[in-house]
Homo-oligomer: A and B are copies of this chain.
């Protein structure tokens, strides 16, 4: 089944919209947050648990799965859906960001990027065509074009090179694409230069993709700059196609991006923070290792109905973390993913009722760090 995206409602007071992505593996309401399952597992929970929370689209990483266990193996095992027993949609990142952030001795030219594997130091060449074919072998529902990612800060000249190369690579990816069903998304680059963001967005738009990602953000820049770059990008993307802000982010970042017309997100924050004992709650974040929770018989968040908050006290979760019990990581992950899912659900509701602006204002004022 071919990919489609339809907008179901536009917020009267902002650029936010609700929509539906149709994928080979079911439908996904947008805005949507994708839990990260880099290696074919959302860390510390089962795919079934993610499904039960309500998630229908997750992210996996072509770079990692290409290196180990290998995309050919996963292809033989029924693709990533069969391998990890996930019935919903899968978006795979192209590896552009991982080569930039994880690999050693990165050397980039027009052909592709030569790098040393972060696992065994072996020398590898990643090209737009290889990234595509890895993602096709994995059976992704949404494939990302390989992009040229630069760090923060980057010079204008570096950023311009990266934009040009990213557009060229995106064009080659269209040419190389063999499978009809998966959607193909391109990634806007341009570092922190509004003009380059526009050029990148226009260049990719003219090639025509199923969706557009905003990449190269959340790489260390100030929050305001990130928001500015979103504003410098979205006007040059077609309104009818989904927009995906990669690697973002905190609840407040997500709210401020959705109000600017972003539809999709992924981030390790809810799952990684969970394993570090950091929990999102309706009144702010808390670190459950803090001694103040030692005898605290209340749930982590009395406004939350997740498996953690329904059944366990802060004192018990703190005990599990003190003892490094695996079940603590699982419970905290369930909680944080529930928090993110409910946040997005609340946002969708606010969009439908044309009151996202007031939700954003209210959220900013009521949420404060209650701990540490």
Residue positions of A touching B, CB distance < 8 A: 39-46, 68-69, 73, 76-77, 83-85, 294-295, 297, 307, 311-313, 315-316, 318-320, 322-323, 325-331
How many chain copies does the complex carry? 2
Can you list 11 contacts pairing A with B, beta carbon distance less than 8 Å? A39-B319, A39-B323, A41-B320, A41-B327, A41-B328, A44-B327, A46-B307, A76-B295, A84-B316, A326-B326, A326-B330
Tell whether, in the assembled complex, residue B297 and residue A69 are in contact, meaning their CB atoms are under 8 Å apart: no
A77 to B297, CA, bound (A): 6
The residue from B85, B294, B311 contacting A311, defined by CB atoms under 8 A apart: B85
Tell whether, in the assembled complex, residue B73 and residue A312 are in contact, meaning their CB atoms are under 8 Å apart: no
Instruction: For A42, give the chain B residue with the smallest CB separation.
Output: B327
Tell whether, in the assembled complex, residue B326 and residue A43 are in contact, meaning their CB atoms are under 8 Å apart: yes
A77 to B296, CA, bound (A): 9
A128 to B331, CA, bound (A): 36
**In the complex, chain B residues whose CB is within 8 Å of the CB of A73:** 294-295, 315
Closest 9 A/B residue pairs (Cβ): A44-B326, A85-B311, A41-B325, A41-B327, A69-B319, A39-B323, A83-B316, A77-B315, A77-B297
Tell whether, in the assembled complex, residue B323 and residue A68 are in contact, meaning their CB atoms are under 8 Å apart: yes
Tell whether, in the assembled complex, residue B319 and residue A40 are in contact, meaning their CB atoms are under 8 Å apart: yes
The residue from B83, B316, B322 contacting A68, defined by CB atoms under 8 A apart: B322
Known: A73-B294, A77-B316, A85-B311; 13 extra A-B contacts, CB below 8 A, are: A41-B323, A41-B326, A41-B327, A46-B330, A68-B319, A68-B322, A69-B315, A76-B295, A76-B297, A83-B313, A83-B315, A326-B326, A330-B330
